[in-house]
Chains A and B, each alone.
Chain A
Amino acid sequence: MGSLLLRMKGITKAFPGVRALDEVDFELHSREVHGLVGENGAGKSTLIKVLSGAYIPDSGEIFLGGKLVSMTHPSQALDLGIVPVHQEPNLVLHLSVAENIYLGRQPRNRLGLIDYAKMNHDARVLLDRLHVRISPRNAVSDLSVAERQMVAIARAMSVDAQIVILDEPTAPLTDHEAELLFHAIEALKSGGVAVIYISHRLEEVFKIADRVTVLRDGRLVGTEPIDDLSIDMAISMMIGKAASGLFAKRTVAIGEPVLEVRNLYKRGFLEDISLTLRRGEILGMFGLAGSGRSKLASVLFGSESCDSGEVLLRGKRFQAENPAQAIRQGIGLVPEDRRGHGLVSGTSVKRNISLPRLRELSSVGIVNERAERQLAKKYVDQLQVRTPSIDQDVAYLSGGNQQRVVIAKWLATNSAVLLLDEPTQGIDVGAKAFIHSLMCDLAGEGIGILMISSELREILRMSDRVLVMHRGRITGKFTREEATEEGIMRAATGED
């Protein structure tokens, strides 16, 4: 670990309804790998966005190499050598590895043309330093996600980055690819670069980090050398002793099966999926990205087709050919991509809530607007959606309130089965507790809920039973009592 490189002091950043960062201090040394951990909504991403110039803090100062800097645009952070590497880097797919590394800065020969020999040679040197075996001449489109990350890291090295920020880099990687990434991080470090490493996977953080900073609810909990910490200590720092904002699950009576899936296949995505969801049950579905969990929801909702298999709804064979049919049969989907798939931005809260139910709300094709208003009002009140009026454009609501609107759509259609895909992703702690509480209420009314989540503690806290998917298969089944973080993770990584 080298000298003090970066000092962020008293960083505060508020958004309407949430204080994302509250007087956070953060220090980074050169030649250091610094783990940044915390729950969703703890403020990690906001801190990183402030550091990389994407957000301007409300107050606080940033010192780089002892000098006060102020950044109002990501390009300024880049000029200072602060380089974020995204989980899935945005590279130009049809250009070569070397061209991507030197994009916009290609070496020229005397004629002003691109000096390919020099560019490929320089790229080779960089890739060798990262211990990566890919040719600089390869097209990026032929590379795996892991290799693309390496290209992005090589690019960071080529611009003489002082600070490289890696945000959840291993999420889309296999274990072996993650190992290669760790080697590359070591190479960066020995080259004098400071690395900020954000990850939910604490084992990884403990493996490669020199120090760890823990954030919770937008506040700094502490920065500790890795040797002074254990994983358990880090977790308790992340959660907080008081465990405030957490919601305790209410158990409700579980009834007869409402949705049964038997031997569902979808080539390349789902293999032999069978499950049973009962009335009043919250069935947790865990899986890493690409495990097929969202595909399963799409198939059940009729949004995508499957190759074979049987679905029974209330004991009757049912295969939705399109979402309209699924909705009519009482299935609702809260999709993972809230803005892209869940909501129609540019139109009102009222019209979003009534959309799946317009058929019932209209006679001879004409919408009964009074009934529509009543319906929207009812659910806005019931779900405590914070909006100036039901005519407000949903684009202006906060994430938590948007999610309430999406859920309201399906309550308005009297769904019997709710498929919730990452229901609390990216929303603040208070809204999350509310949605968890709501899920219990809905289960209490006899709705069967399939909750897909990549947040282990949400799965453990809310589920009556847990299913785990890995590469399109169900690789783990747990009752609430049996489910442990470790057991679920093992199943999710296919280790069993």
Chain B
Amino acid sequence: MVNQANPTVKESANAVTGQFDGGGVLDRAWDWVRRSARDQITLLLMILLVVAGSFLSPVFLTPRNLLNILWAVSVLGIVALGQTLLLITCNFDMSVAMSVPFVGIVAIGLQIAGFGLWPSLIAGLLTGTLIGVINGLIVVLTEANPFLITLGTQTLIYAVALILTQAKTWYGTIPAFNVLGRGQAFGFLHYSVILFLVLALVLEFVLRRTRYGRYLYVLGLNEEAGRLSGILVKPVKVVTFAACGFMAGISGLIMASRLNSTRASGAVGMDFDSIIAVVLGGTSLFGGSGGVLRTVVGVIVLGILNNVMVLAGVPYDAQWIGKGIVFLVIVWTDTLLRRR
């Protein structure tokens, strides 16, 4: 029953944190449990998957298979790194599912039109970044929900991609383009895997040590307090959307290069997949915490999940069920444990 005399939500919150705030030991213990429980769920999932994988197939635990998993997830992984920056600030970019293939369309399209390798790569990166800037500008100018805004731009990009390609698959014309997606260092480590891990390390440094990184966490925790402490909120947000777009650009180039082809619907599901990976790693849906190294873990767990489902002979379409369940469970637990 809703009743007038019930204290407002704010007051109930005060009853917990307000006057009790010195309150310490129990609060902090509960806080620790919440935080670590969140991580242990991912750890548990990983152990279950590894055990299942090694029972299902003797090849699962071979270095070759594990490296393949890394290679398979690196495209998603790079997008998820960018998505992590946004989630820390309590923003989302759903447009990545369409901007990733669109970047490929731009790059391969230029190759078809006769441009060289480097111009096509640079144009691809610029396209991704530009899409990010546009997303960011719309979000800060309209102050509308970033989730819905980027779903809107996703549809727009898809439409443009369909019109440009006339819904056909385009093929690359420059053999060297293939190196980015398929090339290996030392004969076993794909360049795209190296790129993924190096980018993760760079972004982790940015988050931990730079002023910009600090600002991202503050925006996720309390945007207004951040603004009143001198953070230029709008530019920081636009830059972060741009960074996510740039990462989508890199990812799109790798994806196109790996297949040496591209089509408008080439990354369907990457919007949710990237968010699952980020949250699976332990970055909160509610912003203010997390990091990109956590996302690397999340991406790998997701990769193992896919791999195990393949080894178990789960048909491709049914594999979505596994991802769907993981998504629901992880969103539920994050909400349960993290909501502030």
Residue positions of A touching B, CB distance < 8 A:
15-17, 20, 46, 49, 52, 54-55, 74-75, 77-78, 82-86, 89-92, 100, 103-105, 152, 155-156, 159, 301, 303, 322-324, 327-328, 333, 335, 340-347, 351, 355-356, 358-359, 361-362, 365-367, 369, 395-399, 402, 409
- Could you tell me the distance between the alpha carbons of A492 and B211 in the complex, rounded to whole angstroms? 44
Contacts of B4 in A (CB 8 A): 83, 85, 89-91, 100, 103, 152, 155-156
List 23 A–B pairs whose Cβ atoms lie within 8 Å, in order of A's numbering. A16-B24, A52-B5, A55-B19, A84-B7, A86-B8, A90-B6, A104-B2, A105-B1, A152-B4, A155-B4, A159-B3, A303-B227, A323-B229, A342-B225, A343-B225, A345-B340, A346-B340, A351-B214, A355-B229, A355-B231, A367-B209, A396-B23, A396-B24
Name which of A54, A78, A347, A365 has the most chain B CB atoms within 10 A of its CB: A347
Q: Assess the B21–A344 pair: CB atoms within 8 A.
A: no
Q: Assess the A16–B226 pair: CB atoms within 8 A.
A: no
- Which 6 A-B residue pairings sit nearest by Cβ, starting from the closest? A16-B22, A104-B1, A324-B230, A327-B230, A355-B229, A155-B4
Knowing A49-B15, A323-B228, A398-B21 touch, does A74 contact B5 (C-beta < 8 A)?
yes
* B288 contacts partner chain A, Cβ-Cβ < 8 Å: yes
Given contacts A16-B22, A323-B229, A359-B211, 17 further A-B contacts (CB under 8 A): A15-B23, A54-B15, A83-B4, A91-B4, A100-B4, A103-B3, A156-B4, A344-B222, A346-B221, A346-B222, A346-B289, A347-B221, A365-B210, A365-B211, A366-B210, A369-B209, A397-B22
B61 to chain A, nearest CB (A): 39
- Could you tell me the distance between the alpha carbons of A85 and B2 in the complex, rounded to whole angstroms? 14
Q: Assess the A396–B28 pair: CB atoms within 8 A.
A: yes
* B218 contacts partner chain A, Cβ-Cβ < 8 Å: yes
- Could you tell me the distance between the alpha carbons of A291 and B218 in the complex, rounded to whole angstroms? 31
- The chain A residue with its CB closest to the CB of B219 is A344
Contacts of A159 in B (CB 8 A): 3
Residue positions of B touching A, CB distance < 8 A:
1-8, 11-12, 15, 17-24, 27-28, 209-212, 214-215, 217-218, 221-222, 224-232, 288-289, 340
- Could you tell me the distance between the alpha carbons of A90 and B21 in the complex, rounded to whole angstroms? 25
Contacts of A77 in B (CB 8 A): 5
- Could you tell me the distance between the alpha carbons of A389 and B221 in the complex, rounded to whole angstroms? 21
Q: Assess the B225–A341 pair: CB atoms within 8 A.
A: yes
Q: Assess the B21–A103 pair: CB atoms within 8 A.
A: no
- The chain A residue with its CB closest to the CB of B20 is A15
Q: Residue A367 contacts which of B12, B21, B210, B224 (CB distance < 8 angstroms)?
A: B210
A264 to chain B, nearest CB (A): 20
- Could you tell me the distance between the alpha carbons of A38 and B8 in the complex, rounded to whole angstroms? 24
- The chain A residue with its CB closest to the CB of B206 is A365
B287 to chain A, nearest CB (A): 10
Q: Assess the B15–A396 pair: CB atoms within 8 A.
A: no
Contacts of B228 in A (CB 8 A): 301, 303, 323, 333, 335, 341-342
A487 to chain B, nearest CB (A): 33
Contacts of A398 in B (CB 8 A): 21-22
- Could you tell me the distance between the alpha carbons of A333 and B228 in the complex, rounded to whole angstroms? 8
Contacts of B229 in A (CB 8 A): 323, 327, 344, 355-356, 409
Q: Assess the A355–B22 pair: CB atoms within 8 A.
A: no
- The chain A residue with its CB closest to the CB of B210 is A365
- Could you tell me the distance between the alpha carbons of A156 and B5 in the complex, rounded to whole angstroms? 8
- Could you tell me the distance between the alpha carbons of A104 and B1 in the complex, rounded to whole angstroms? 5
Knowing A344-B221, A366-B210, A367-B209 touch, does A355 contact B226 (C-beta < 8 A)?
yes
B21 to chain A, nearest CB (A): 6
Q: Residue A78 contacts which of B3, B21, B214, B227 (CB distance < 8 angstroms)?
A: B3
Q: Assess the B210–A362 pair: CB atoms within 8 A.
A: yes
A370 to chain B, nearest CB (A): 12
Q: Assess the B7–A54 pair: CB atoms within 8 A.
A: yes
Q: Residue B224 contacts which of A85, A340, A399 (CB distance < 8 angstroms)?
A: A340
